[in-house]
């Protein structure tokens, strides 16, 4: 006999659990529950194994009693091996034991003990529906759900609902940010990327990569032209308006060959509704394209990065600051990510991003072991909650690299780019690892991929310049210098306190013989962080290019004394070539 759900619980919680299961049965859900209760002393029989195998989903009634039960652990492990969904329902605050952390990693839970019980029960019913289990969801007050306003062309959509959908690729264009505050671009860009990632998991649909799609941000081109350029039959366009806690999202699906609008919807709600809205958009696009989804794909469309909308907003803000890659912005991103983790201690993406931020702060700004250790700790925590996090693997690659475990760093880095071929930060990190190990061809390949994804990321041009110099390709060296000289003034107008970028700019000016300008930029950069080992190292590079060997060696010695110990990089950095034959430099680098 097949049942909808198998209930795993402890007999000490029997009355509370039976109250929930009675409501499930009233809503038309078939339930298998051992009314004798399950605990460590109960015989785990063949009947229970068959019941689990015949169920569509496991409801884990989590309490201090149940999570310590050996039999409950067996039930969770068995259904996890079958790759069927698990819904943890917390009857009280609990700490998940180590044996259950892996099968429950990344799974959102319902805190049944907290807040409104009716709303919690509706959350359970919605989760069952998303798993393909037919359920009658109790009605809620209208204010508790995001308001959906059907676009006037919905009538046209219904007229075409029986027509066959022609095959073709789908592109999700960056949603327009029409908020009064334009600094909320981080929010619209983040939602666009989440939607692309979600739809990319559907086997029946070819989705244009986010690298390509994001290049159309702010475009005024018509859908037909975009479709031809991207070779995409269908495109999703939309807009987002965010004012404080209020959000309004409009989206539409267009057939670019016929200019026919297949679906359109406007959603209004609070920030807390954002995950429901994302879920509905993905499902309605799949329905409009008449895709046949597997149970796993249906569940995938409902996967949420966090249960806390405020944590999600902080995470998106933090990513925007992290990618600016100035000392101040990376430091601020760490604060945002840590606040997101505080709001949701199971938020895997926030752990991974925070790990990356700590690793980059150690790599680029301050060689303090605290940052290196935090990067590894947070990366491992991210993988504990999401074993397929590309950001976490990229962060761990950086961490292993700092610990001089280059083989493990390369493996973690490769895993990162395998999981997310559009992650420019992962390509950049792994490219630098290969450069440091002397694998110039592989480093060049990875760094060029990073550049194609994010052409405004100035560090990549610098790294490629070093590779081309090491492999005696002077025209390419000059090309990278020219691009840096073109890119950095604009960057410094936006981020005038980015001393690292200013020193890069100073060194390139010196190489072009623009000595007065180079000295001016170097002096301005040196007004801050004079005791920072990375700053001192970059100052040494500038003085070497300016021909001041004494100050170059003195600054390099200061950098090493302050903790800059990346001697492999120092030996390969072409900026220091003018001082290689100086006796003091040779003595300084002896046995290193």
- Model pLDDT, residue 202: 80
| 453 within a domain of the structure (yes/no) | no
Contact 461, 487 (CB under 8 A): yes
Say whether both 185 and 223 belong to one domain. Answer: yes
Of the candidates 245, 278, 304, which is a domain's last residue? Answer: 304
Say whether both 261 and 205 belong to one domain. Answer: yes
Say whether both 296 and 358 belong to one domain. Answer: no
Contact 422, 438 (CB under 8 A): no
CATH number at residue 46: 3.40.50.10140
Name the average pLDDT for the chain: 82
Contact 352, 416 (CB under 8 A): no
Say whether both 187 and 104 belong to one domain. Answer: no
CATH number at residue 194: 3.40.50.10610
| 220 within a domain of the structure (yes/no) | yes
Say whether both 326 and 204 belong to one domain. Answer: no
| 488 within a domain of the structure (yes/no) | no
- Model pLDDT, residue 149: 47
Say whether both 152 and 219 belong to one domain. Answer: yes
Q: Which helix (H) or strand (E) holds 262?
A: strand 260-270
**Residue 93 to residue 528: CA distance in whole angstroms:** 47
Say whether both 269 and 351 belong to one domain. Answer: no
Q: Which helix (H) or strand (E) holds 58?
A: strand 55-62
Of the candidates 283, 304, 325, which is a domain's last residue? Answer: 304
Domain that includes residue 348, residue range:
307-408
Say whether both 136 and 13 belong to one domain. Answer: yes
Q: Which helix (H) or strand (E) holds 126?
A: helix 117-130
Say whether both 71 and 102 belong to one domain. Answer: yes
- Model pLDDT, residue 440: 93
| 414 within a domain of the structure (yes/no) | no
Query: For the chain, how many structural domains are there in total?
Result: 3
| 481 within a domain of the structure (yes/no) | no
Say whether both 153 and 297 belong to one domain. Answer: yes
Say whether both 93 and 222 belong to one domain. Answer: no
- Model pLDDT, residue 139: 53
Report residues of the chain scoring pLDDT below 50: 37-44, 140-145, 149-162
Contact 528, 502 (CB under 8 A): no
Q: How many residues does the chain have?
A: 592
**Residue 230 to residue 233: CA distance in whole angstroms:** 9
- Tokens 């109250």 sit at which residue? 19
- Model pLDDT, residue 460: 93
| 313 within a domain of the structure (yes/no) | yes
Say whether both 20 and 132 belong to one domain. Answer: yes
Of the candidates 408, 441, 465, which is a domain's last residue? Answer: 408
**Residue 578 to residue 582: CA distance in whole angstroms:** 9
Contact 312, 337 (CB under 8 A): no
Closest CA to 250 of 260, 237, 239, 234: 239
pTM of the model: 0.60
């Amino acid at each position: 006999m097949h049942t909808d759900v198998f209930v795993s619980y402890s007999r000490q919680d029997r009355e509370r659990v039976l109250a929930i299961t009675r409501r499930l049965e009233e809503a038309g859900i078939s339930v298998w529950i051992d009314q004798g209760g399950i605990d460590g002393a109960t015989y785990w029989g063949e009947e229970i194994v068959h019941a689990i195998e015949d169920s569509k989903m496991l409801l884990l009634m989590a309490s201090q009693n149940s999570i310590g039960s050996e039999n409950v652990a067996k039930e969770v492990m068995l259904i996890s091996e079958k790759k069927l969904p698990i819904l943890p329902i917390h009857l009280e605050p609990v700490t998940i034991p180590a044996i259950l952390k892996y099968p429950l990693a990344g799974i959102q839970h319902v805190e049944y003990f907290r807040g409104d019980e009716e709303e919690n029960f509706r959350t359970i019913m919605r989760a069952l529906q998303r798993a393909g289990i037919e359920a009658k969801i109790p009605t809620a007050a209208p204010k508790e759900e995001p308001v959906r306003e059907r676009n006037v062309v919905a009538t046209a959509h219904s007229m075409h609902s029986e027509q066959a959908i022609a095959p073709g690729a789908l592109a999700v264009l960056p949603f327009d940010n029409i908020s009064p505050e334009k600094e909320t671009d981080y929010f619209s860009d983040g939602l666009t990327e989440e939607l692309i990632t979600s739809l990319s998991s559907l086997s029946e649909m070819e989705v244009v990569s986010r690298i390509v799609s994001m290049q159309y941000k702010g475009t005024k081109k018509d859908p037909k032209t975009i479709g031809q350029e991207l070779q995409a039959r269908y495109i999703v366009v939309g807009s987002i308006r965010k004012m404080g806690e209020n959000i309004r999202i409009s989206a539409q699906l267009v057939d670019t060959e016929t200019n026919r609008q297949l679906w359109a919807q406007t959603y209004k709600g609070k920030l807390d509704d954002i995950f429901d809205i994302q879920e509905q958009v993905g499902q309605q696009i799949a329905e409009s394209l008449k895709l046949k989804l597997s149970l796993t794909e249906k569940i995938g469309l409902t996967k949420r990065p966090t249960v806390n909308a405020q944590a999600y907003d902080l995470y998106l803000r933090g990513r925007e600051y992290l990618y600016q890659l100035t000392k101040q912005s990376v430091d601020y991103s760490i604060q945002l990510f840590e606040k997101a983790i505080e709001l949701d201690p199971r938020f895997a993406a926030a752990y991974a991003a925070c790990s990356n931020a700590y690793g980059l702060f150690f790599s680029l700004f301050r060689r303090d072991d605290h940052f290196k250790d935090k990067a590894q700790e947070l990366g491992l925590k991210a993988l504990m909650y999401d074993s397929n996090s590309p950001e976490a693997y990229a962060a761990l690659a950086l961490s292993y690299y700092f610990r001089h475990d280059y083989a493990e760093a390369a493996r973690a880095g490769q895993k990162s780019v395998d999981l997310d071929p559009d992650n420019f930060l992962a390509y950049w990190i792994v490219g630098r690892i290969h450069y440091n190990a002397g694998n110039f061809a592989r480093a060049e390949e990875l760094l060029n991929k990073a550049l194609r994804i994010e052409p405004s990321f100035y560090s990549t041009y610098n790294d490629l310049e070093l590779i081309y110099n090491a492999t005696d390709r002077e025209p390419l060296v000059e090309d990278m210098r020219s691009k840096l000289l073109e890119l950095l003034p604009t960057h410094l107008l936006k981020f005038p306190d980015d001393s690292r970028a200013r020193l890069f700019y100073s060194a390139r000016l010196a190489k072009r013989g623009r000595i007065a300008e180079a000295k001016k930029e170097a002096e301005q950069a040196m007004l801050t962080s004079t005791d920072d080992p990375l700053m001192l190292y970059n100052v040494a590079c500038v003085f070497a290019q300016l021909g001041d060997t004494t100050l170059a060696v003195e600054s390099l010695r200061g950098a090493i004394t302050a903790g800059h110990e990346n001697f492999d990089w120092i030996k390969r950095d072409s900026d220091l070539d003018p001082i290689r034959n100086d006796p003091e430099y040779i003595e300084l680098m002896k046995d290193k």
